[in-house]
Chains A and B, each alone.
Chain A
Amino acid sequence: MSQLFDNEFLKKIERLAITSKIIMSDGAAGNRKSRSRGSSVEFSDYREYAEGDDYRRIDWNAYGRFEKLFIKLFMEEREARVHILLDTSRSMDWGEPNKSFASRRLAAALAYISLSNYDSVSLVALSNRTEKVKLPIRGKNSFTQVLDFLENIQYNSSTDLVSALKDMNMKSERGISILISDLFSEGNLLDVIKYLQIRKQEVYICHVLSPQEINPEIDDSLRLIDMETGEAIEVTYSQLLMKTYRKVYNDFISGIERLCFKRGVEYMLMDSSMPLELMVREVVERKRRAV
């Protein structure tokens, strides 16, 4: 048993799985209700008819009453495909506590919870390309594969999430994509979101940062060297420097938040020092609200 996933961790995610029971169903092919409206038996809502809709689903009774075309929406019940997209660029292997540690434990926990809910889980390690893919795993019994996968991840490349996703060549079928990254990436986050949403993915972004990135501790003149690129800049402590960093950081976060909100993406900012329970609860709560 590795240090990353010790017994204590496993017990913890088991408890988390129990406490995060979300909408359950008896469906043979999955234990989770999809967010997407479909033609299943359980009535969900009405919606005004729009061109291109299946006219077979028009509710003529409603038309008789309101003289307007409505279609019925039903809950579609099926197995959810969960993609856990883990940023494995070198920048993730930094911080105290280390972001890679926190992010992998979060990935493992989410995978376990999904497996517990009869969902299929795919794990993808991304850097500037798709490093590794673990094809759909089903059933809690396969969880060890998840652990193996996560434990063997190497953090030694730069980040380019767009290229990495393109490299992955994801199939266009409904599913959930949980991106765990520090988002210090080449390329535009919008492109990442667009790429996933085009492939019918419900996108969750777990933005993991270390406390030293949120509140840098500088008290002298430093030559800051980028771990990924080797590029360096010199800074000298001043109140203005720290004030400006704070502002830039806030702009960075709020820019991402705005983008995610606009695109209907669930965004969660996580500090690598946060307890795992809090991280998981954050994700689970978002999911519950989203359904």
Chain B
Amino acid sequence: MTFYQPTAFFYLWVIPVIIMLYILKQRHQDFHVSSLYLWQETLRDIEANAPWQKLRKNLLMFLQIAAMLLFILALARPYLNAAGGKAQNVVIVLDTSFSMQATDVKPSRFEAAKKQASSYISNLSPGTLVTLVSIGNSAVIEENLSSDKNRLLETVNRLKVTNGTANYEDAVSLIESIVRQNPGTEVVLYGDKRLEVPGIDIKFSRISQGGDNYAVTSVSYAEVENSITVLSRIANFGVEDRVIPVSLYVDGKVFDARNVEVMAGETENVYWHGIPGQTTVIECRIDAEDALKGDNSAWTAVNISKTNRVMLVSQKNIFLEKVLSVMKGVELYRTGFEGADELKGYDLYIFDGFLPSRLPEDGNIMVFNPPSNGYFKVREEIVLQVGEEIILPEIRLTEHELLTHMEGQDFLVAKSKRLEVPKWGEILMESSEGAIAFAGSLDKSRIVVLGFDIHNSDLPLTPAFPIMMANMLEWLLAPGIENVESIYPGQEVEFNLYPKTEEATVTTPSGQRIKVAPPFPAPAFDATQETGIYTLEQKSADGSSIHRFAVNPPAAAESNLLEDNTGVPADAPDGPDTSNSGVETGFSLQVLLLWFALLLLCIEWWVYSNGI
């Protein structure tokens, strides 16, 4: 037995006080009567019938002392098998992922988990150091080695369930490092999925009862001539085959509704045709009650692709002209070096063998083969410094995203200019003599510089050339959002704002407006906890442009409520389930003792009033 408040024994001084009160006895009020004859008989009779009557007052005293002892013991908060056992350090892991929103456990898995965790914390031995970890998209230490139970309880209470996916890899490495630092640490997990960490016995409190759940696992679209066709995937995570009513909403209005029969554990593809081409937002919704409501809707945003104006400043470059002419969404303009200093009004400027003295400020820049010892300035600052031409023995490609899918593509560059890479630039290609290509963002502009003339390379003759150009143009002419049609909650979004954008804001599904720029370049946007359609608005002198993207529930990872899968990282060895054991919470004797004390007081009252 453990006493959580041993200081309560201080109140034991009350016991002698009770005894003193009995010793001092109660004062009786004088009252004259005609005769004591009957009263004396009465007292004799009482004493004759209850031989232990003289002990009655003592019995009351003993009952009161016993009740008081029970009260004091209750104040001392005794526990049997205190939670956390003898561990001095405890890690409490709380799953805050999307599936914890399920209501198969009332009121919800997350609320139940919080309640259990709070109870566990309350029952811990005093002085136990608790580290509180939440697992959402990442594992976060909410409280570190705290023994302040009130603070811990407040923190648990403050935690909110997220729309994210439980990041078990993160959690495992965090737990491992905590346990490594404090061997003997007890780890307790409150969640719906088991977590296994080799060599660590994680006590697991499963907060799950399973339950039927349907989900829209994805919504995507394709433009077919002037209309749009949508593919939605409807999953039945229940144990019985179901006919699930599904509706498609186009720009907030019902477009179509169907009953989709989905076998237990299966996913059905549902196509929706004939959606108007000017549609901006498509939502697919399941109109059925289930244990997890958050995944009953999924969205996709239709962003009309914009034609980009590209200015190629070149004497003659058949390769560039060819590759640019086949790029989708590119309107190509060409000019010679004359008059190329004062260009403006284009989305992308490609300078081939030429550098203007001033960089155009309204578009992105791509430079091939800048003149030796040339430079250009942005706001009087030299941002490009070109070195001497060098003969290249060999070049090496970095793992930059602009060079993806180019692995294994061999090409040679005979000679190139050596480039001084500015601090905002990242090297794309280098040789033993120095960098020959780099890319980077300077303020609002994105800049790619290749130090060589492509005529001095066999690059245009290899498949690597169109791949590289496609990568680079995609980056330089990207729509507002890169590689994003739909993301999961909590994921970051990189915005590729137009160079002429003066201000950019994002409106969340709940209508909250968040400013993302200035400053430029806009940092990654991570306020994506909410599911639904987000709208990016870029304002410039020419007006504003709208781009939408969808944040959809992580249905694939989190919607299967029946799943008894284990949050085992991919590289962890398979371990038996037995490495997880249940959470033992201590048994509080306080309430029990209080009930006993109350019972004793009732007995005392009964003894007193019946004069037994």
Residue numbers of A with Cβ under 8 A of B are: 91-92, 94-95, 99, 182, 184, 210, 213, 220-229, 231-236, 238-241, 244-245, 247-249, 251-252
B42 lies within 8 A of chain A by Cβ: yes
Tell me the complex Cα distance, A278–B442, Å.
Answer: 122
Q: List 27 A-B contacts (CB under 8 A).
A: A91-B34, A95-B34, A184-B35, A184-B37, A213-B34, A221-B29, A224-B31, A224-B33, A224-B36, A225-B30, A228-B34, A228-B35, A231-B36, A232-B30, A233-B36, A233-B43, A235-B39, A235-B42, A239-B611, A240-B611, A240-B612, A241-B42, A241-B611, A244-B45, A245-B42, A248-B41, A248-B42
How many residues on B have C-beta within 8 angstroms of the other chain's C-beta atoms?
Answer: 26
A231 to B30, CA, bound (A): 12
Asked if B145 is at the interface (CB within 8 A of a chain A CB), the reply is no
B609 interface residue per 8 A CB criterion? yes
* Minimum Cβ distance to chain A for residue B534 (Å): 78
Q: How close is B576's CB to chain A, nearest CB, in angstroms? A: 68
Identify the 5 closest CB pairs spanning chains A and B, nearest first: A240-B611, A238-B611, A184-B35, A94-B34, A223-B28
| Least CB distance, A221 to chain B, in whole angstroms | 5
B window 563-612: CB within 8 A of A = 608-612
Q: Assess the B29–A223 pair: CB atoms within 8 A.
A: yes
B43 to chain A: which residues have CB within 8 Å? Answer: 233, 235
Determine how close the nearest CB of chain B comes to the CB of A184; give it in whole angstroms.
Answer: 4
Contact yes or no, A221 B26, CB < 8 A: yes
Complex Cα distance, B34 from A213, in Å, reads: 8
Query: Does the CB pair A248–B609 fall under 8 Å?
Result: no
Residue in A210, A232, A245 whose beta carbon sits within 8 Å of that of B34 in the complex: A210
B30 CB to nearest chain A CB (Å): 5
- B40 at the binding interface (Cβ < 8 Å): yes
Q: Which of A91, A241, A251 contacts B35 (CB 8 A)?
A: A91
**Alpha-carbon separation in the docked complex, A222 to B29 (Å):** 5
- Counting chain A CB atoms within 10 Å of each CB, the highest count among B35, B38, B40 belongs to B35
**Complex interface: chain A residues within 8 A of B609 (CB):** 238-239
Report A-chain residues with C-beta under 8 Å of the C-beta of B611.
238-241
Whether a CB of chain A sits under 8 angstroms from the CB of B546 is no
- Tell me which residues across on chain A come within 8 A of B41, comparing CB atoms: 248, 251-252
Task: Tell me whether B32 is interfacial, beta carbon within 8 Å.
Answer: yes
Q: How far is the CA of A228 from the CA of B33 in the complex (A)?
A: 9
Chain B minimum-CB-distance residue to A159: B35
Q: Which residues of A are found within 8 Å of B45, using beta-carbon distances? A: 244, 247-248
**A249 vs chain B, min Cβ distance (A):** 6
Q: How far is the CA of A229 from the CA of B33 in the complex (A)?
A: 11
- In the bound complex, residues from chain B placing their C-beta under 8 Å from that of A223 are 28-31
Complex: A223 Cα to B33 Cα, angstroms: 10
Also in contact, A184 and B42, with CB within 8 A (given A238-B609, A238-B610, A238-B611): no
The one of B32, B34, B46 in contact with A241, judged by C-beta atoms closer than 8 angstroms, is: B46
Instruction: Say yes or no: A227-B46 contact (C-beta < 8 A), given A235-B39, A245-B38.
Output: no
A7 CB, nearest partner CB in chain B, Å: 30
Bound-state CA distance A252–B35 (Å) is: 13
* Minimal Cβ-Cβ distance residue in A for B53: A240
Whether A239 and B31, one on each chain, are in contact in the complex, defined by CB atoms closer than 8 angstroms, is no
A173 to chain B, nearest CB (A): 33
**Counting chain A CB atoms within 10 Å of each CB, which of B42, B609, B612 scores highest?**
B42
State whether B38 touches A213 (Cβ < 8 A): yes
Chain B residues, Cβ within 8 Å of A241: 42, 46, 611
A226 vs B27: C-alpha distance in the bound complex, in angstroms?
A: 18
- Given the complex, which residues of B lie within 8 Å of A92, measured CB to CB? 34
On chain B, the residues within 8 Å of A248 by CB distance are: 38, 41-42, 45
A231: B residues at CB distance < 8 A = 36
Given A228-B34, A244-B45, A245-B39, 19 other A-B contacts at CB below 8 A?
A91-B35, A182-B35, A221-B27, A222-B30, A223-B28, A223-B30, A224-B32, A225-B30, A226-B35, A227-B32, A227-B35, A228-B35, A233-B43, A235-B42, A238-B608, A244-B49, A245-B42, A249-B38, A252-B37
Q: Mark B7-51, 1 if CB is under 8 A from A, else 0.
A: 000000000000000000011111111111111111101100100
Give the distance to chain B from A52, nearest Cβ to Cβ, in Å. 42
Q: Which residues of B contact A220 (CB under 8 A)?
A: 29
CA distance A85 to B610 in the complex (A): 42
- Does B33 contact A227, Cβ atoms closer than 8 Å? yes
Give Cα A249 to B40, complex, Å.
11
Q: Could you say which residues of chain B place their CB within 8 Å of the CB of A225?
A: 30-33
Contacting residues, chain A, for B42 (C-beta < 8 A): 235, 241, 244-245, 248
Contact A226 B29 (CB under 8 A): no
Q: Which listed residue, A99, A244, A251, touches B46 by the CB 8 Å rule?
A: A244
Residues of chain A with a CB closer than 8 A to B46's CB: 240-241, 244
Determine if B34 and A99 form an interchain contact, defined as CB atoms under 8 angstroms apart.
yes
What is the CB-to-nearest-CB distance from B448 to chain A, in angstroms, rounded to a whole number? 102
Residues from chain B with a CB closer than 8 A to the CB of A238 are: 608-611
* A249 to B38 CA separation, bound complex (whole angstroms): 7
Q: Residues of A contacting B40 with CB < 8 Å?
A: 233
Do A221 and B28 touch (CB < 8 A)? yes
- Nearest-Cβ distance from residue B26 to partner chain A, whole angstroms: 5
Residue among B28, B29, B610 with the most chain A CB within 10 A? B28
Instruction: Give chain A nearest CB distance to B384 CB in angstroms.
Output: 106
Point out the residues of chain B lying under 8 angstroms from A245, CB to CB: 38-39, 42
Kindly report which residue of chain B lies nearest to residue A221, judged by CB atoms.
B28
User: Which residues of chain A have C-beta atoms less than 8 A from B27's C-beta?
Assistant: 221
Closest Cβ–Cβ distance, residue A241 to chain B (whole Å): 6
Residues of B within 8 A of A221 (CB): 26-29
Question: Are A222's CB and B34's CB within 8 A?
Answer: no
Task: For B35, list chain A residues within 8 Å (CB).
Answer: 91, 182, 184, 226-228
Query: Please, how many angstroms separate the alpha-carbon atoms of A95 and B39 in the complex?
Result: 16
A244 contacts across to B, CB distance below 8 A: 42, 45-46, 49
- Residue of A91, A92, A222, A224 with most partner-chain B CB within 10 A: A224
Task: Given the known inter-chain contacts A233-B40, A238-B611, A244-B46, please indicate yes or no for A184 contacting B31, CB distance below 8 A.
Answer: no
CB pair B610 A240 closer than 8 Å: yes
0/1 string, B35-77, CB within 8 A of A gives 1:
1111111110110010000000000000000000000000000
Least CB distance from B293 to A in Å reads 62
B residues 353-378 near A (Cβ < 8 Å) are: none
Residues of chain B contacted by A251 (CB below 8 angstroms): 41
Which of B34, B38, B49 meets A227, CB within 8 Å?
B34
List the A residue with the shortest CB-CB distance to B29: A222
Identity of the chain A residue whose Cβ is nearest the Cβ of B47 in the assembled complex: A244
Also in contact, A226 and B28, with CB within 8 A (given A238-B610, A245-B38, A245-B42):
no
